[in-house]
Structure 1
Amino acid sequence: MELEDMDCLGHSSKSGPGVCVAQSVENGGFGGDGRCCKQASPPRSGGSRNTSPMSRAGSRNTSPLRQKVVKTKPRGLDEETLATFGKVVHADVQMEDNIWAMLPEDLLHEILARVPPFLIFRLRLVCKRWNSLLQDSSFLKFHSSVPSHGPCLFTFWKNTQTPQCSVFSLPLKTWNRIPFTFLPPWAFWLVGSSGGLVCFSGHDGLTFKTLVCNPLTQTWRALPSMHYNQQRQLVLVVDRVDQSFKVIATSDIYGDKSLPTEVYDSNTDSWTVHQIMPAVNLCSSKMAYCDSRLYLETLSPLGLMMYRLDTGHWEHIPAKFPRSLLDGYLVAGTQKRLFLVGRIGLYSTLQSMRIWELDHTKITWVEISRMPPKYFRALLRLSAERFECFGQDNLICFTSWNQGKGLLYDVDKKIWSWIGGCALQSYNNQVCFYEPRFDASIY
C-alpha cells in the first residue's frame, strides 16, 4: 500500500510506501463557513513579489513629495498558515547528527510514541529501523502508556460498493484517508468506535454478522453468532487496562423488545444472554454508554432505561424530558456526565438547539448551553431537516443532511466551531468519534 496526499476535491498523488493514510488540506484549513480555504502558495523562485508602486514597470508616481518607498512583506506560506490556524511559526532548528544518531533505543521509542499516529506512517519512510516500528513491542508499549493523540472524526461511506474511510484529526486539523479494502465485501454499516477499535454490523449474504477492526493496523475479525442472531442495536466498549472489549446487543433494530440482551466478551470469545429489556416504548434507538451503564430514551414510561453492565439488569430512571422537546439525542461525556441534546420549539421561527445535563441526584435535566442562532440557522436551514448528534470526552458534534460540514461544541471550553471538508459532503456517510491507536488489539 502507498501513502497518498489528498486535496479538498479528493484527488490524490502517491508519495511513498507504507499503509495508505492520505493527508489533505494540511496547509489550507477551513473558513468560518466550513468551506476549504485556498492553499497559500510559497514564494516563486524568481523572488518575492514587491507590491510597492515603485516596483511596477511603467507605473507613475502621482505624489512627487513621497519619495520613500514602503516595502510590504510578501504574503507567503507562513503568514497564510498563521492567519488560518493561529499557530506560531518557529524557525527551523538545526539538528546535530552526531548527537541524535546516538539516541538510546528506549528514549527514541518514547519520543516517537508521542508523535500523532497518522504522522508515524510518514516517519516510517526515514529508514528501515523506523519502518519496523509497528512490529516493535517496545514501541507499542510506550505508545500504549502515552495520552491519546486527541479526538478524531471517523467517516465511513460506500462509493460504487467500495468502502471509503476518512479521518479528521481535530488537533492537527487535517483529513487522512484510510483504505478499507482489507474488510470482506459484506453489506455492513458503522456501529461505533471505542479505544481505537471500530465496530461494524451487517450481512454476508446469508446471516447477520458483527466484526471489529483496527483501521490503523488493518486487522479485523468477525465475532461468533449471537444466540438470537438478528439485526440488533449494538454498542462497542473497550477496556484498555484489561486489553479486552465487549459488544452489547439490545433489542431488535426494528423494535422487537422480546429479544434478551446479549453481551460479547473478547476474553471468552462468546456471547452471554442477560435480562430482556422491560416492555417500554423507545423514544429513539440511539444509545449512550457512560460509566459502565447504557442509556436509552423512553416515552412510556417517560424517562430513561439504564442497563448496568456489571449486573446485567435493566432499570428505569424517571427523568422527565424538557418541555417542547422535538427530538433528543443522548450523548455520553466524561466523569459520569450524561447529556441530552435536542431541538426546542413548536414553530420553525422559534426553534433552537439546547444541551442539558442529567443531575443524577435530583434525576432532572439541567440546561447547560444553547446553540447560537447563527449556527442553528446555518446547520438546519429547514425546520424539518434531519440532523445527527454524537459525542465523546465532553465534545459534541452535529451533522445534518445536505450540509458538507459539521458543527463541534466543546462543553468544557464552551466553544462552537465548524468542521468541513470533502469527507463530510456525502449524504450517506456515517460518522462517529474515533481514537487512533496502534496498540488496540482485536484479540
Structure 2
Amino acid sequence: MAPSVWAALPDDLLLEVLARVPPFLLFRLRPVSRRWDSILHDPAFLAAHAGVPSHGPCLLTFWRGAAHSPPQCSVLSLPLRARYKLPFGFLPAWDLWLVGSSGGLVCFSGFDGAGFRTVVCNPLTQTWRVLPDMHYNQQRQLVLAADKKRRSFKVIAASDVYGDKTLPTEVYDSKEDKWSVHQMMPAANLCSSKMAFCDSRLYLETLSPLGLMMYRVDAGNWEHIPAKFPRSLLDGYLVAGARTRLFLVGRIGLYSTLQSMRIWELDHGRTVWVEISRMPPKYFRALLRLSAERFECFGQDNLICFTSWNQGKGLLYDVDKKAWSWIAGCASQLCNSQICFYEPRFDAWIY
C-alpha cells in the first residue's frame, strides 16, 4: 500500500489495523521513532489489541550464558513459523529462573544476593515489578495465573523446593500487592514438583495420600482427589488443558523395548484417569533414544509439547486434532535453558 494511503487513514482506523499486526513485528518497530513507541502504549491501541483474537501459541526459551551475563530469550511463533529474539536486559541482574507464563506475563524467581525474589514482567512492553517478600520467604514452587478480565494476576506459592511440609500456602494478588497466607498442604509425600493450574485450581501429584492434591484459589483450601495412577507409570507430568481439562503424561513399561508414552485425561466425575492417546513408536524412539533419557513436558490449552536433553527440536501434540508434529529448534541444547508456552500481548498489565 502506498505511503500516501497510510497517511490518509484516520487514527482510529490505523490503530485497528495495527492491532491486527503480529505483536513481534510491532515490537521490532519500537526503536524506529517515539511515535511508534507511543502508539504501543496508546489506550485506544491497547483496547483494540485486546479485542482481536490471540496471536496463537508461542514457545519462549530462556537461558543464561556466562556468569553475570544478561539473560537471553527467544520466542518461536508457531502460527508464523518464525523465531524472534526478545531482550531481557531490562530485568535486574539477578540469578533468575523461569517460573512460567500466563496471559502475556512471564514470571521469574531467584536470588538477588540477599534473599529470594519473585519478578513478573511483560516482555513486549519491557515493564516489570518485583513482588514483595512472602511471609515465609524462601525458595518455593510457584505458579503464575493471569486474569484478563480483572487485569490482574496471582502467584501461588505451594510446597518448598526442599520438601519442607511445614510452610503454609501463600497467594499474591496484584490488585492488593500483598501475599495472603492460607492452609498448609496436607500431603506427606509428593511425587513430583511439577504442578498444573487450570480453572482456578492448582494440582499436584502425591503418593501419601495417593492421588492428587487440589488447591482452590478462590476458597483458599486444599482437597484430596483419590485418582489412582496408571499401572507401571515410570514418570508422570500433570499438564493443564483448556478450561477444566487436566492431562497426565508419562512413560509406561519396565524395559526400554516395552516402553511407550501415553496421555490420560482426568474424568472429574468418576475420579479416574482415562487414556486418550499414545505417542507413535517412531516419535517415541526419536524423542528418547535411550530409555533412561529425561524428558520435559508442558502444555497450553489443548497443546502438549515434549522436549528432551540435547534434542534440538520439540514434539507437539494437538489434543483436539489428535495430531503429532515436530517443531524444529524449539528445544535448546543448553543445559540451563528453560522453555514454556507464551502468549504475546501488549495489553498484559503488571500494575
Q: What TM-score, normalized to structure 1?
A: 0.76
Greater per-residue strand proportion:
2
1:153 aligns with 2:66: no
Shift of residue 425 of structure 1?
A: 2.6
User: How many Å separate the matches in 1 of 2:288 and 2:29?
Assistant: 41
User: How many Å separate the matches in 2 of 1:195 and 1:418?
Assistant: 25
The residue that corresponds to 1:116 in the other structure is 22
Greater shift in the superposed pair: 304-313 or 153-162: 153-162
The alpha-carbon distance between structure 1 residues 151 and 137, as it changes in their structure 2 partners (threshold 3 A), is: same
Gap runs ≥5 in structure 1: 1-94
Shift of residue 128 of structure 1?
A: 6.2
Greater shift in the superposed pair: 180-189 or 130-139: 130-139
CA contact (8 A) 1:124 1:133 kept: no
CA contact (8 A) 2:233 2:252 kept: yes
Shift of residue 110 of structure 1?
A: 1.1
User: How many Å separate the matches in 2 of 1:316 and 1:220?
Assistant: 36
The residue that corresponds to 2:42 in the other structure is 136
Name the aligned partner's letter for residue 297 of structure 1.
E
CA contact (8 A) 1:405 1:418 kept: yes
> What are the Cα deviations for residues 285-324 of structure 1, in whole angstroms up to 9, with x where unaligned?
1000010000000112211000000110000000011111
Shift of residue 187 of structure 1?
A: 1.0
The residue that corresponds to 1:349 in the other structure is 257
CA contact (8 A) 2:76 2:330 kept: no
User: How many Å separate the matches in 2 of 1:215 and 1:237?
Assistant: 16
CA contact (8 A) 1:166 1:423 kept: no
The residue that corresponds to 2:321 in the other structure is 413
Name the aligned partner's letter for residue 364 of structure 1.
V
CA contact (8 A) 1:388 1:399 kept: yes
User: How many Å separate the matches in 2 of 1:226 and 1:177?
Assistant: 32
The residue that corresponds to 1:214 in the other structure is 122
The residue that corresponds to 2:177 in the other structure is 269
User: How many Å separate the matches in 1 of 2:188 and 2:25?
Assistant: 48
User: How many Å separate the matches in 2 of 1:97 and 1:294?
Assistant: 51
User: How many Å separate the matches in 1 of 2:258 and 2:284?
Assistant: 11
Q: Tell me the SS of whatever aligns to 2:135.
A: coil
User: How many Å separate the matches in 1 of 2:93 and 2:282?
Assistant: 42
1:334 aligns with 2:237: no
The residue that corresponds to 2:193 in the other structure is 285
The alpha-carbon distance between structure 1 residues 311 and 170, as it changes in their structure 2 partners (threshold 3 A), is: same
Shift of residue 329 of structure 1?
A: 0.3
User: How many Å separate the matches in 2 of 1:204 and 1:126?
Assistant: 34
Matches of residues 423-434 of structure 1 in structure 2 within 5 Å? 424-434=332-342
The alpha-carbon distance between structure 1 residues 124 and 220, as it changes in their structure 2 partners (threshold 3 A), is: closer
User: How many Å separate the matches in 1 of 2:144 and 2:30?
Assistant: 31
Matches of residues 373-392 of structure 1 in structure 2 within 5 Å? 373-392=281-300
User: How many Å separate the matches in 2 of 1:354 and 1:179?
Assistant: 37
> CA RMSD of the aligned region, Å?
1.5
CA contact (8 A) 2:307 2:314 kept: yes
CA contact (8 A) 1:234 1:249 kept: yes
Shift of residue 417 of structure 1?
A: 1.1
Larger radius of gyration, structure 1 or 2? Answer: 1
CA contact (8 A) 1:247 1:264 kept: yes
> What are the Cα deviations for residues 269-292 of structure 1, in whole angstroms up to 9, with x where unaligned?
100000000032101010000100
Shift of residue 132 of structure 1?
A: 2.9
1:253 aligns with 2:161: yes
Name the aligned partner's letter for residue 306 of structure 2.
F
Name the aligned partner's letter for residue 432 of structure 1.
C
Matches of residues 77-116 of structure 1 in structure 2 within 5 Å? 95=1, 99-116=5-22
CA contact (8 A) 1:325 1:342 kept: yes
Name the aligned partner's letter for residue 285 of structure 1.
S
CA contact (8 A) 2:331 2:339 kept: no
Gap runs ≥5 in structure 2: none
CA contact (8 A) 1:297 1:303 kept: yes
Name the aligned partner's letter for residue 155 of structure 1.
T
CA contact (8 A) 1:405 1:425 kept: no
Q: Tell me the SS of whatever aligns to 1:256.
A: coil
CA contact (8 A) 1:404 1:426 kept: no
The residue that corresponds to 1:366 in the other structure is 274
The alpha-carbon distance between structure 1 residues 114 and 282, as it changes in their structure 2 partners (threshold 3 A), is: same
The residue that corresponds to 1:8 in the other structure is none
The alpha-carbon distance between structure 1 residues 432 and 422, as it changes in their structure 2 partners (threshold 3 A), is: closer
Shift of residue 148 of structure 1?
A: 1.0
Shift of residue 390 of structure 1?
A: 0.3
Shift of residue 370 of structure 1?
A: 0.6
Q: What TM-score, normalized to structure 2?
A: 0.96
The residue that corresponds to 1:35 in the other structure is none
Shift of residue 407 of structure 1?
A: 0.7
The alpha-carbon distance between structure 1 residues 427 and 364, as it changes in their structure 2 partners (threshold 3 A), is: same
User: How many Å separate the matches in 1 of 2:58 and 2:192?
Assistant: 25
User: How many Å separate the matches in 2 of 1:290 and 1:402?
Assistant: 30
The alpha-carbon distance between structure 1 residues 224 and 127, as it changes in their structure 2 partners (threshold 3 A), is: closer
Q: Tell me the SS of whatever aligns to 1:321.
A: coil
How many percent identity over aligned positions? 77
The alpha-carbon distance between structure 1 residues 128 and 355, as it changes in their structure 2 partners (threshold 3 A), is: same
Aligned residues: 349
Q: Tell me the SS of whatever aligns to 1:287.
A: strand
1:229 aligns with 2:124: no
